[in-house]
Structure 1
Amino acid sequence: MSSINTNLSAITALQSLKATQTSMNKNQNQISTGLRVSEASHNASYWSISTKMKSDNGALGAVKDSIKQSKAMIDTYTSALDKSMKYLDTMKAKLTAGSNPGADLAAIQVELKSSIEGLKSAAGSATFNGQNWLEGSPSTVKLVTSYDGESQKVNSLEIDTTKVNLFDDVADPKAGLLKNVANIDIATAPKAQGYTDLAIDAAKVNATAGSEDKIYIKLSDAPNTTLTFTVTGTGSLQDLADDINADAGADNVDSKIEASVVDGKLRITSKTAGVDVSASFSDTAAGAAGTAAGTMKLDTTALTGLSQGDKIKFTANAVPLSFTVGSEKNAAELAASINADTNLKTQVTATSDDDGNLILTSKTGTVSAMTFENTTKGVDTTYGQIAVKDALKAVDKAINDLRAGSAMLGANKALLETQEEFIGVLSDSLTAGVSAFIDADMNEVSTRNQALQTQQQLGVQALSMANQNSQMILKLFQ
C-alpha cells in the first residue's frame, strides 16, 4: 500500500541515519577526548573506579612532593652537621696542642671561640621551609611517606630531633648537644680541684690483716706529707670510694680528698680548689716463712706484674727496711739488686729458687713482716690543665653525638629514597589502571570512524531514495 501520509521507508531510513549519527558523535567524542568513559553515563562502574583511582593517584603525587621536600630538608641539616664536625675537629686539634704544659691557653681560646661561633652560625642558619631541627626545642617530627587509599590514612616517618639538636638558643645555649662545647673557656678557667684516676681491679683489693692494700695520696699544698688510707674491706670500687670518704683516721683523709668512681676508675679529688693530687695504690702480698730459720719467701705469684716503683718491705733484726724495684723483671734480678744495695746487703742475703721465688735470709738474726707492694700510680693532673682535659672530653663527646645524629639522618634519607621509588611505581600502576578502565583504543576508534562515515553516507542516500517514493505517486495521477 502506498500512502502520502506515512512514508515507512523514509521513517526507517531516518531512524537508521539518526542511530549512525549518534554513534558517530560518540566516536568523535572519544577521538577528541581520548576517553571511552568520560562521564558516569558511559559506564557508571568504570567511571566510579577510575575516579577513585585518579584521586588516590593525586594524593600519591602530593606524597612524592612531600618526600622530595623532606629529603631536601635532611640534606640541609646533614650539610650543617658536616660543617659542625669540621669545626669540632679543629677544636680537638687545638685542645690537644693545649694539653702540652706551657701552652698559650689564651691564644688557643681565641681560636676555639672562632670555631664556637662557627658552630652557632651553622646551627642557626640550617633553616628549611621555616623549620630548624638543629636549634630550638627538640621534638618528634613526622614526615609524610605514603597514603593508604583503603583506610584514607596518611602514613609518616617519625624523627626524634633530640639527636641532632645542637643548641636550644645559639645566642645563649643552655641545652643541646653542643651546650658544653659552647661554654668552653680554657683561658679563664676556674682553679678547679685537682684529681687523679687509679686503675684498680676491685677483685684484687685485699684487706687481710698484716697485708692490707694501701692508697698513698699527696697534695700539692703539702708536698712533704703523704696521706695513707688502709683498705678495710673488699667489694666494688664504689665500696672502696665510700670507705675512703668515711675515713676519719689520723691522716684525716676524708677532710682533704673525695673519692668517686668515674669511667671504671677510682678518682681521688682534692677538696681544695687549685690543689693538685697524686696518688698510688699498693696491692700488697704477704711473704711466708722460709724452710730454714731466719728466712722469708715471696712466691712467684706475688711477684706477678713486677714494675718500676714497686716495693719489697721487711723487718730484719727489728729494723724496718725496704727495696724499691727499678728495672728488675724477675726474682733472680731482684736478688742481685738487693745483694748490691749498700743498706740491705749487711742485713740480709737474697736468693731465688728454680720456681722463681725470692728468698731473704738474715745474716745475724731474723727476717719478718715481709710484703710486696705492687704499685699502681694514678694519672696525675694539674688544675691548670683540667679545663683543657674537660674541654677535650666535651668535644670528643660532641663529635660522637654528631656522628650518631648524621647517621640517623642518613638512614632516614635512605628510607625516604626507597619509599619515593615505591610511590613512583605505585603511581605508575594506578595511572595504567585508570587507562585500562577509561581510555579509548584509538586504533579501534579510527577504524570505527571510517565505517560510520560510510554508514552515514549510505543512510543519507537511503533516506533520499525513500523520500522520492512519494513523488512516484504523482505519476499515477497524470
Structure 2
Amino acid sequence: MTSIMTNQAAMTALQSLTNTNRTLSQTQSRISTGYRVSSAEDNAAYWSIATTMKSDRGALSTIKDALGLGAATIDVAYTGMNSAIDVTKEIKNKLIAARQPGVDRQKVQSEITELQNQLKSISDSSVFSGENWLSVDSGAATFNVTKTMIASFSRSGGEVSVGTISIDIDSVKLFDADDQSGILDTEDTTENSAEAYSVFNLDISEYTDTDNDLADLEQMIGFVDQAIGSMTTAASNLGAIKQRTKLQADFVSALMVAIDQGVGALVDADMNEESTKLQALQVQQQLGIQALSIANQNSQMVLSLFR
C-alpha cells in the first residue's frame, strides 16, 4: 500500500542512517582520543580496572622517585665510609711508624691529629637531603636508629600496603654525639689499656720507648685495625643495601611498563581496525543518505496519479 501519511521506506532508511551515524561518531571518537574505552559508558568493567591500575601506576612512579632518593642517601654514606676507611688506614700507618723506638712521636701525633680532624669532617659532611648516617645524635628527640625507605606498593583484595627497606644506623655510624658509641668515637677500655681512648681522640705525643708505652702502642694499633674492620663491614652492608635498592628500582620500572601495557590492552583503540572501520562507515553514511533521499521521493510520485 502506498501512503502519504506513513513512509515506511523513509523510516527504515532514517533508522539505518541514524545507527550508522552513531557508530561513525563512536569510531571518530576512538580515533581522535586513541582510546577504545574512554569513559565508564563505553565499558564499565574495563574502565574501572584501568582507572584503578592507572592510580597504582602513579603510586609506583612515586615509589621509584623515593628509591632514587634513598639510593642517593646510601651512596653518600657509602662514599663517606670509604673515605673514612682510607684516612683511618693512614692513622694506623702513623701508629706503626711511631712504634719504632727513637721516633719523634709529637710530630707523628700532629699528623694524626689532622687525620682525626679529617675523619670528623668527612662524617659531618656526608649529608644528603638532611640525612646523615655517619655522624648522629642518638639522644635527639627525632632520632630513629632504623632508617626506612619506601620500596614497594601493592594492592590485594582492595587493601593497599607499602613495603620498605630498613637500615640499622647502629652498625654504620662513625660518631654519636650522645654516648660516643660510633665506630670512631667508641673508647678502648680493655684491661690492658693504660687509659681510655678512641680512634678519634687517641694521643701518642707523650709516649716514650718504655716497654709499657710500646705495648700500649701495639694495642692501639690493634684497636685501630679493629675499627677499620668494623668500617669495612659497614661499607659492605651499605653496598649490599644499595644494590638491593637498585634492583628494586629496576623492578618497579619494569612493573610500571607492564601495567601500562595491561591498561593499554584494555582501553586502547586499535588504530588500524578503527581507520578501516571509519572508511566503511563513511561509505555506509553516503549510501544511507542516498537511500533516504530516494525514499522521500516516493511520496512525490503519488502526485503523478492525479495528473
TM-score, length of structure 2 as denominator length: 0.87
Partner of 2:58: 58
Q: Is it true that 1:433 corresponds to 2:266 in the alignment? A: no
Higher radius of gyration, 1 or 2: 1
Tell me which residue corresponds to 1:42: 42
Q: Within 1, Cα distance between the matches of 2:75 and 2:133? A: 12
The DSSP-based 3-state class of the residue aligned with 1:53 is helix
Is 1:409–2:258 an aligned residue pair? no
Indicate the residue corresponding to 2:296 in structure 1.
467
Query: Counterpart of 2:101 in 1: which secondary structure?
Result: coil
- Distance between the aligned counterparts of 1:87 and 1:126, measured in 2? 15
Write the letter of the residue equivalent to 2:204: I
Residue 168 (structure 2) aligned to one of 148, 151, 160: 160
Looking at secondary structure, tell me which structure has more strand per residue. Answer: 1
Aligned match of 2:225 in 396, 401, 407? Answer: 396
Query: Any idea what SS the aligned residue of 1:41 has?
Result: coil
Deviation at 1:443, TM superposition (A): 1.3
> Over residues 277-318 of structure 1, what are the superposed CA-to-partner deviations in whole Å (9 max), with x where a residue is unaligned?
xxxxxxxxxxxxxxxxxxxxxxxxxxxxxxxxxxxxxxxxxx
The percentage of aligned residue pairs carrying the same residue is 42
- Checking the alignment, whether the CA contact within 8 Å between 1:133 and 1:165 is kept in structure 2 is yes
Q: Which residue of structure 2 lines up, in the alignment, with residue 177 of structure 1? A: 183
1:78 aligns with 2:84: no
Aligned to 2:108: 108
Report the AA paired with residue 30 of structure 1.
R
Higher helix share: 2
User: Equivalent residue for 1:382?
Assistant: 212
Query: Structure 2 matches for 1:244-259, cutoff 5 A?
Result: none
In the alignment, the residues of structure 2 paired with residue 13 and residue 471 of structure 1 have an alpha-carbon distance, to the nearest angstrom, of 17
1:142 counterpart = 2:160: no
1:173 deviates by 8.2
1:378-424 deviation digits (Å, cap 9, x = unpaired):
xxx323x4553343233212211110100101111122222223223
Corresponding residue SS for 1:156: strand
Are 2:32 and 1:9 equivalent residues in the alignment? no
Return the alpha-carbon distance in structure 1 between the equivalents of residues 88 and 183 of structure 2: 12
Match of 2:5, SS? coil
> Partner residue of 2:195?
none
User: Which of 273, 281, 295 matches 1:444?
Assistant: 273
Question: 2:212 corresponds to which letter in structure 1?
Answer: T
C-alpha distance after superposition, 1:125-146 (max 9, x if no partner)? 1111111111113510112221
1:455 is aligned, of 272, 275, 284, to 284
For 2:303 and 2:204, the matched residues in 1 are separated by 125
Q: Is the 8 A contact 1:143 1:158 kept in 2?
A: yes
Q: Secondary structure at the match of 1:149?
A: strand
Give the Å deviation of 1:51. Answer: 1.7
Q: How many residues align?
A: 287
Describe the shift of the 1:113–1:173 C-alpha distance in structure 2 as closer, same or farther (beyond 3 A). farther
Computed over aligned residues only, the root mean square deviation of the Cα atoms, in angstroms, reads 2.1
Corresponding position of 1:246: none
Name the CA distance, whole Å, in 1 between partners of 2:217 and 2:113. Answer: 14
3-state SS of paired residue (2:42): coil
CA deviation after TM superposition for structure 1 residue 94, in Å: 0.7
- What is the alpha-carbon distance in structure 2 between the residues aligned to residue 121 and residue 24 of structure 1? 72
Greater RCO structure (CA 8 Å; 6+ sep): 2
Any gaps of 5 or more consecutive residues in structure 2? 139-144, 186-197
For 1:131 and 1:7, how far apart are their aligned partners in 2?
82
Letter in 2 for 1:438: V
Tell me which residue corresponds to 1:218: none
CA offsets 1:204-263 (integer angstroms, 9 cap, x no match): xxxxxxxxxxxxxxxxxxxxxxxxxxxxxxxxxxxxxxxxxxxxxxxxxxxxxxxxxxxx
> What is the alpha-carbon distance in structure 2 between the residues aligned to residue 132 and residue 4 of structure 1?
91
Cα shift at 1:102: 1.8
Distance 1:51 1:61, change over 3 A: same
Q: Distance in 1 between matches of 2:64 and 2:230?
A: 31
> Helix, strand or coil for the counterpart of 1:187?
coil
Q: TM-score, normalised by structure 1?
A: 0.57
Shift of 1:188: 4.5
Q: Which runs of 5+ in 1 are unaligned?
A: 195-275, 277-380
Contact 1:167 1:173 in 2 (8 A): no
Local SS of the residue matching 2:128: coil
Moved >4 Å (runs of 4+): none
Query: How far apart, in 1, do the equivalents of 2:217 and 2:130 lie?
Result: 38
What is the deviation of 1:164?
Answer: 1.3
Contact 1:186–1:387 at 8 Å: present in 2 too? Answer: no
